[in-house]
């Protein structure tokens, strides 16, 4: 079973926050790829417990190969994505929960940039734990949501390429 997981937090108060980028994008791309026999999930538990929702659906090495996790990345500028495979959580608690529950890093992830950037593309992220937390749990502004909407086409194409061709091809086209 091909599985795409969008990370975020459940509940109205988190709906349009930066930390819900994975959930937001899965909602946008699910319609675009509905005939592709892909299961899309947005876990009903909080980000830090994402592994509890994913682990029961991934029972083997083959299932790991068919798993794609989409989540926010504060180190990338808004509108950029990075596809990676078999990497650490990079400090992302939702991803860390999945890695711990699956006892493996051998799955694909699509990191989605959420940070503002200078005209030269240098990421301007907040400094300090409290500022970072406030930024992550802050709501996207309307133009930022428009950027995500445009980006959803690219993410949908990347997911399609991953499942129909290969992760290597997707990485070479979309990174």
CA distances from 30 to 42, 73, 93, 132 (A): 11, 21, 24, 29
- Specify the 3-state DSSP secondary structure of 164: helix
Catalytic residue among 3, 6, 18, 19: 19
Are the beta carbons of 154 and 112 closer than 8 angstroms? no
In the residue annotation, 19 being an active-site residue is answered as: yes
Active site (catalytic) residues = 19
């Amino acid at each position: 079973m091909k599985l795409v997981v969008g990370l975020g937090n459940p509940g109205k108060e988190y709906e349009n926050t930066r930390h819900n980028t994975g959930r937001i994008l899965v909602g946008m791309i699910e319609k675009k790829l509905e005939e592709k026999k892909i299961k899309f999930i947005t876990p009903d538990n909080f980000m830090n417990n994402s592994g509890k929702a994913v682990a029961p659906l991934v029972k083997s090495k083959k299932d790991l190969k068919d798993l794609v996790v989409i989540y926010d990345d504060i180190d990338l500028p808004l509108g950029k994505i990075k596809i990676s495979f078999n990497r650490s959580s990079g400090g992302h608690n939702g991803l860390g929960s999945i890695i711990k529950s699956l006892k493996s890093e051998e799955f694909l992830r699509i990191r989605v940039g959420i940070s503002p950037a200078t005209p030269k593309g240098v990421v301007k992220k907040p400094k300090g734990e409290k500022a970072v937390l406030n930024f992550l749990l802050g709501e996207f502004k309307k133009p930022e949501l428009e950027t995500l909407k445009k980006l959803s086409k690219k993410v949908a194409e990347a997911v399609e390429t991953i499942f129909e061709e290969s992760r290597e091809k997707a990485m070479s086209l979309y990174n």
